[in-house]
Amino acid sequence: MSESRTEVKNTTCYMCACRCGIRVTLKEGEVRYIQGNPDHPLNKGVICAKGSSGIMKQYSPARITKPLLRRPGSHRGDAEFQEISWDEAFTLMAERLGHLRQTDPKKFALFTGRDQMQALTGMFARQFGTPNYAAHGGFCSVNMAAGMIYTIGGSFWEFGGPDLERARLFIMIGTAEDHHSNPLKIALSQFKRNGGRFISINPVRTGYSAIADDWIPIKPGTDGALLLALIHETINTGLYDREFLTQYSNAAQLVNVNTKDDDYGLFIRTYEEGDEGKVHPQDQLWWDRLNNQAVRTHTKGADPFLLGEFTLEDGTLVKPAFQMLVDQVKDYTPEWAANITGIPAERIRTLAHEMGIVARDEKIELPIAWTDVWGNEHAAVTGNPVAFHAMRGLAAHSNGFQTIRALAILMSILGTIDRPGGFRHKAPFPRPIPPCPKTPNGPQGVKANEPLGGMPLGWPADPNDLFVDGKGEPIRIDKAFSWEYPLSVHGLMHNAITNAWRGDPYPIDTLMIFMANMAWNSSMNTEQVRQMLNDKDEQGEYKIPFLIVCDAFQSEMVAYADLVLPDTTYLERHDVMSMLDRPISEFDGPVDSVRIPVVPPTGQCKPFQEVLIELGTRLKLPAFVTKEGRRKYRDYPDFIVNFETEPGSGIGFLAGWRGKGGEKFMRGEPNPKQWEMYEKNNCVYQYHLPRSYQYMRNWNEGYLEWAQHHRLTRYTDPINIHIYSEVLQKFRLAAQGKYAGKQPPERLRKRIETYFDPLPFFYEPLEAQLSDKHQYPLSAVTQRPMAMYHSWDSQNAWLRQIHAHNYLYLSPELGRKGGFKDGDWVWVESMHGKVRCMCRFSEAVEPGTVWTWNAIGKAAGAWSLSAEANESQKGFLLNHVISEELPPHADGEHLSNSDPITGQAAWYDVRVKVYKAGPGEPQQTSPQFEPMRRMPGQSIKPKSWFGYVAGKRNKS
């Protein structure tokens, strides 16, 4: 390497959402080598297959480099564009959006995909005044967030994780790759090397599951039954952590069980002096077993019953919540679950025993003194070393919320929440149950020329928090926070296009999509969604009149845009992984990070951040202009340094090096040198909490005060685990007409009453309930390949050699029955559609399941691939057989194919049959689409071969 022209720069990877620290070596300005940054807390120097292939993303011929306008007269999807200037693009957008903001802001909808700047995009939407904003969460894993946050105040996903450093037993459920890709791999191998025992519960054995000591194949969508049976067995054998439950959960709290009462199923509350003015008084009751009477929870010296039934002085019949749980799981025996899950009852029993015995007998004790919120001093932090991890295998089902509640409860009864060897939170979690942010709760929240009267996304605590109109009908285009999906805390992006196309609840004018491939892999029912995007009304107007797409590549989605905004790559822009969004925090404290460009933008590419700031300024959105209406921020870096959530709040996007000289963190005045300080520190800011604040944070006085002081949370009240969910019960009561306030529309009463069970229960996924299981006997699921990120990487010359196309993997048994062989072309058909693909036999899949890698299949011509490329000819997209809506049924005609509680897209509910393709059929994937054209501004030509050597291009 020639010394003079070789530079090394630090930034943060974005070949996936994991956000590892990387070191980029440049040779004569070209990227020579990308390695993991050894000094980065997240990846500690390692890097993955995608991260190592960043060069081929940076110099991909699929890159778009110029703002483009759809050629007049051409159709959406045809990808016929003409170049325009950025100024023209801004003028166009400012005029159109300005008009909408002055008339009806909700006619502008902004939806973003797997982006890492929801803090900014969400803020832009709010400032604009539209309620129609969401990111990928609703079609990704909102069940995981909601199910656990509504139970323990934190979750897996990007919010918390398993403490594999100290765990002895690790149970991984429904996880293929996950967001914490590299850290999880680092931890998993260390865990195994330390002799830990690793069990994977998954219909498929690949990736992580491959190295599990035990693989427990399960039928998709049935984990709820397994988890409930595990709870049943754990309680029956007395393997739960009684002490943990009584002190740190609502298990011992007394629930009113007088069926006739309006507050049936709610906790008994007593008001005492001193409670006035408290936002969250600790006014629930226990039944003290020492004095055999009701006492206030956490009364000193009391030891509550967890089981039993008692009568209060006023004659109210009460039960501890734990007794309610025991009643609920009474019939959920291992034998019962065995029939549903396909796992032998004996295996379920031993699994429960393994967990319980390890939790009980291998207790960890760390000599760390801490004090709980009730003033009890503890000489040590203890922990039960059973760790869990779960992701979309649980989340992406329409029964996922209740399943994940069951998981969180299992983890809680084993006493593993925020303790060593168990589940650990990551800042800003734990948060109150539910967290405080709320959406507006009625139409008054949306007004012309005004910011939205609340957050676009929030956490309903009871029916009155729903974002519905007087008739109880939705206000958001995706119908989030309505009675159809009351706790849809991340929105329902997967229904936005269908609803907008149908004009239900209303038509919109402009849809802006950032970093989401909605015309392909991130839509369900892809073929029809493509038609909807291109559909016109009687007047010949597009049903969705204006479509703006900000993308960095020639994706399937870009073809449908009216206006294309070319984004930079991650190596070309500033970015912030903010504490206001989902930072990269570690178990031991908050961490946030940034990207700093290592190469200049290509062509006319402009970071979307800059677009939003420019647009916000032109639209004079209050956050972006001074009182006089003048530009407030020069550009995005300037915005990041100087923006404060409220004037003088000291809270901004970045937590590190705040204050004039960078001496403060979390809160402090803007620091003009903040970027430089991040740059010097490997682009991350890491804060280590004092040891005594690192555990038991839901109840840790010191931590909660610290968190409040640094404005991570509003309150210092304990965050008790909701074994029993009063929040859910309130919705159920509303459905029963017993709750004061908002009432569901008649058609949804039964649905709400059924699914809003305050205790977890098992039901068949909705699609299975509504389909003929004899005709469609199989479950079809997808998995993420470790070497590809959604649809992004087919343009990547190196990664696509690893996954050029995908197969449908299935049990050889199915081939034997269906008369087809390994490698044959088959049809996979659901009640919604069918796809022709190649099958491969596998012994590593539960025989009632078929699966494929996600998003490898591509539309011909997209991503700068030739029309004959494997991705479109042999690769296939399972999304064609998945529907975004359930078949019309009693609860509604156009209900989303989602969890009835959270609106989580039920990707993995689809039921299919598989049969051999006819002998005369082409050996090619079906459906096929007209090959997408190359677009103006795709400056790099795809070559027939190359041998990449950095620095060569610049040599004359």
Partner 1 sequence: MHPAFSVIFLTTLIGVGQGLFLGLFTAQYYSAFKLISVENAQGFYSGGSLVALLFLFGGLGASFFHLGHPERAWRAATQWRTSWLSREVIVLPAFIFIVFVYGALYYFGWDPNLTSANLPAGQLSFLVGVAGTVVCFALFLCTGMIYGCIKFLQEWHTPLTPLNYTLLGTASGFTLAAGFAASYAPELIRFFGELAVILTLVAAVFRIWALLRNFRIKHRSTLQTAIGVRHNQIVQKAQGAMGGSFNTREYFHGRSAAFLKSMKYLFLVLTFVIPVLLLVLAMSTGINSLLGLAFAVQYLGLIAERWFFFAQARHPQNLYYQTL
Partner 2 sequence: MTQLALVIDLNVCVGCHACVTSCKQWNTSGSAGPMSDDRPYGKDPTGTFFNRVQTFEVGSFPKTETVHFPKSCLHCEDPPCVPVCPTGASYKRKEDGIVLVDYDKCIGCKYCSWACPYGAREIDEHQKVMKKCTLCVDRIYDQKLPEAERKPACVLACPTSARLFGDVHDPDSMVSVAIREEGGYPLMPEWGTQPSNHYLPRRKTKMHIHEDELVRVDNPLAKEQFKVPDSDDPFLEDASSW
CB 108 within 8 A of CB 132: yes
* Choices 45-53, 133-141, 169-177, 256-264 (CB under 5 A): range interacting with Mo ion: 133-141
* Burial group, residue 844, by CB count within 10 angstroms (0-12, 13-18, 19+): middle
Binding of ligand SF4 at residue 780 (CB under 6 A)? no
User: Least separation, in Å, of the C-beta of 35 and ligand SF4?
Assistant: 10
Q: CB of 674: closest distance to ligand SF4 in angstroms?
A: 23
Please select the residue that binds ligand SF4; options are 11, 13, 205, 885, rule is CB under 6 A.
13
Single-letter amino acid code for the residue at 270: T
Residue 132 near residue 477 (C-beta atoms within 8 A): yes
Nearer to Mo ion, 123 or 140 (CB): 140
Question: Binding Mo ion by CB under 5 A: which of 140, 231, 386, 814?
Answer: 140
| The one among 284, 729, 842, 854 contacting partner 1 by CB under 8 A | 842
**Contact assessment for residue 771 and residue 779, using Cβ atoms and an 8 Å cutoff:** no
Q: Which amino acid is at 551?
A: D
Which strand (E) or helix (H) includes residue 246? Answer: helix 242-248
Least distance CB 542 / ligand SF4 (angstroms) = 36
* CB nearer to ligand SF4: pick between 357 and 802: 802
Q: Is the dihedral of CA 627, 631, 635, 636 positive or negative?
A: positive
49 versus 69: smaller Cβ distance to partner 1: 49
* Cross-strand partners of 549: 513, 564
Triad 715, 388, 343: Cα angle to 5°: 135
CB of 135 to ligand SF4, least distance (A): 18
In the block, residue with structure tokens 């890698």: 853
110 touches Mo ion (CB under 5 A): no
Partner whose footprint covers residue 842, from Mo ion, ligand MGD, partner 1, none (CB < 5 to 8 Å by kind):
partner 1
Cβ contact 879:837 at 8 Å? no
Q: Is 19 in the site for ligand SF4 (CB under 6 A)?
A: yes
Q: Examine residue 865 and tell whether it contacts partner 2 (CB under 8 A).
A: yes
Q: Which residues pair with 286 in a beta bridge?
A: 295
Binding-site partner at residue 866 among Mo ion, ligand SF4, partner 2, none, CB < 5 to 8 Å by type: partner 2
Q: Do 267 and 799 meet the contact criterion of CB atoms below 8 Å apart?
A: no
Question: Is there a cis peptide before residue 434, judged by omega within 30 degrees of 0?
Answer: yes
| Beta-carbon-side half-sphere exposure of residue 497 (alpha carbons within 13 Å) | 29
Answer yes or no whether residue 20 interacts with ligand SF4 by CB under 6 A: yes
Site map (CB under 6 A) of ligand SF4, residues 170-189, x = contact: -----------xx-------
Binding region for ligand MGD (CB under 6 A): 16-17, 113-114, 136, 139-141, 173-179, 181, 201-204, 218, 220-221, 223, 391-393, 397, 514-517, 521-522, 550-553, 555, 557, 567, 569-570, 608, 781-784, 786, 788-792, 851, 854-855, 878-879, 907-908
Q: Which residue's Cβ has the minimum distance to Mo ion?
A: 140
Contact 124, 616 (CB under 8 A): yes
Residue 766 interacts with which of Mo ion, ligand MGD, partner 2, none, CB < 5 to 8 Å by class:
none
By CB under 8 A, what part of segment 153-172 binds partner 2?
169
| Residues between 755 and 794 that touch partner 2 (CB under 8 A) | 786-787
Q: How far apart are the first and last CA of the chain?
A: 17
Helix (H) or strand (E) holding 812, with range, is: helix 812-818
823 binds, among partner 2, ligand MGD, partner 1, none (CB under 5 to 8 A by kind): partner 1
Q: Segment contacting partner 2 (CB under 8 A): 234-242, 369-377, 726-734, 771-779?
A: 234-242
What is the gyration radius of the CA atoms in the chain, in angstroms?
27
Cα gap 20→185, rounded to integer Å:
13
Among 805, 832, 858, 913, binds partner 1 (CB under 8 A): 805
Taking CB under 8 A as the rule, which mask of x and - marks residues 279-308 in contact with partner 2? ----------x-xx----------x-xxxx
The residues in 758-787 that bind Mo ion, with binding defined as CB under 5 A, are none
Q: Which regions of 671-810 does DSSP assign to beta strands (E)?
A: 684-686, 778-783, 808-810
Q: Choose the one of partner 1, Mo ion, ligand MGD, none that binds residue 552, judging by a C-beta under 5 to 8 angstroms depending on kind.
A: ligand MGD
Tokens at 923, concatenated = 């050996």
Q: Which of 238/277 has CB closer to partner 2? A: 238
Adjacent-strand bridge partners of 310: 318
Site for partner 1 in 855-874 (CB under 8 A): 870
Q: 546-551 and 563-566: which strand pairing? A: parallel
Q: What would the two tokens of residue 789 be?
A: 């990120």
Q: Would you call 367 helix, strand, or coil by DSSP?
A: coil
How far apart (Å, rounded) are the C-alpha atoms in residues 785 and 871? 15
Give dist(CA 447, CA 102) in Å, integer: 9
Asked if 24 touches ligand SF4 (CB under 6 A), the answer is: no
Query: Residue 701: phi, psi to the nearest 5?
Result: -55, -50
Q: Report the 10 Å Cβ neighbour count for 311.
A: 10
* Least distance from partner 2 to the Cβ atom of residue 741, Å: 37
Instruction: For the CB of residue 210, give the shortest distance to partner 2 in the complex, in Å.
Output: 4
Cβ nearer to partner 2, comparing 201 with 905 = 201
Site for partner 2 in 204-233 (CB under 8 A): 205-211, 213, 215, 217
Among 840, 894, 916, 934, binds partner 1 (CB under 8 A): 840
Binding mask 41-80 for ligand SF4 (x = CB under 6 A): --x---xx-xx-----------------------------
**Partner in contact with 752, chosen from ligand SF4, partner 2, Mo ion, none, beta carbon below 5 to 8 Å by kind:** none
Question: Which of the ranges 136-144, 640-648, 689-697, 886-894 carries the binding residues for Mo ion, by CB under 5 A?
Answer: 136-144
Contact 607, 567 (CB under 8 A): yes
Q: Which residues between 21 and 80 bind partner 1 (CB under 8 A)? A: none
Q: At closest approach, how far in Å is the CB of 440 from ligand MGD?
A: 26
Interatomic CA distance for residues 479 and 923, integer angstroms: 41
From the list ligand SF4, partner 2, Mo ion, none, pick the one residue 802 interacts with, judged by a Cβ distance below 5 to 8 Å according to partner type.
partner 2
Q: Among 10-18, 465-473, 606-614, 811-819, which window interacts with ligand SF4 (CB under 6 A)? A: 10-18
Token pair recorded at residue 223: 């984990």
Residues paired with 11 in a beta bridge: 22
Binding residue for ligand SF4, selected from 18, 119, 152, 563, defined by CB under 6 A: 18
**511 near Mo ion, judged by CB under 5 A:** no
Interatomic CA distance for residues 446 and 250, integer angstroms: 37
Number of residues that bind partner 2 (CB under 8 A): 96
Instruction: Tell me the C-alpha distance between 500 and 533, whole Å.
Output: 10
Are the CB atoms for 815 and 841 separated by under 8 Å? yes
* Of 531, 530, 532, residue with least CA distance to 520: 530
Q: Which does 19 bind (CB under 5 to 8 A by kind): Mo ion, ligand MGD, ligand SF4, none?
A: ligand SF4
The residues facing 896 across adjacent strands are: 885
Binding mask 236-255 for partner 2 (x = CB under 8 A): -xxxxxx-------------
Quick check: 822 binds partner 1 (CB under 8 A)? yes
What is the SS3 string spanning 392-459? HHHHCCCCHHHHHHHHHHHHHHCCCECCCCCEEECCCCCCCCCCCCCCCCCHHHCCCCCCCCCCCCCC
Please report whether residue 315 would count as binding partner 2 according to CB under 8 A.
Answer: no
Applying CB under 8 A, which of residues 82, 311, 339, 801 lies at the interface with partner 1? 801
Q: How far apart are CA 106 and CA 121, in angstroms?
A: 15
Write out the residues near ligand SF4 by the rule CB under 6 A.
13, 15-16, 18-20, 43, 47-48, 50-51, 181-182
Write out the residues near Mo ion by the rule CB under 5 A.
140
Write out the residues near partner 1 by the rule CB under 8 A.
801-805, 822-823, 840, 842-844, 870
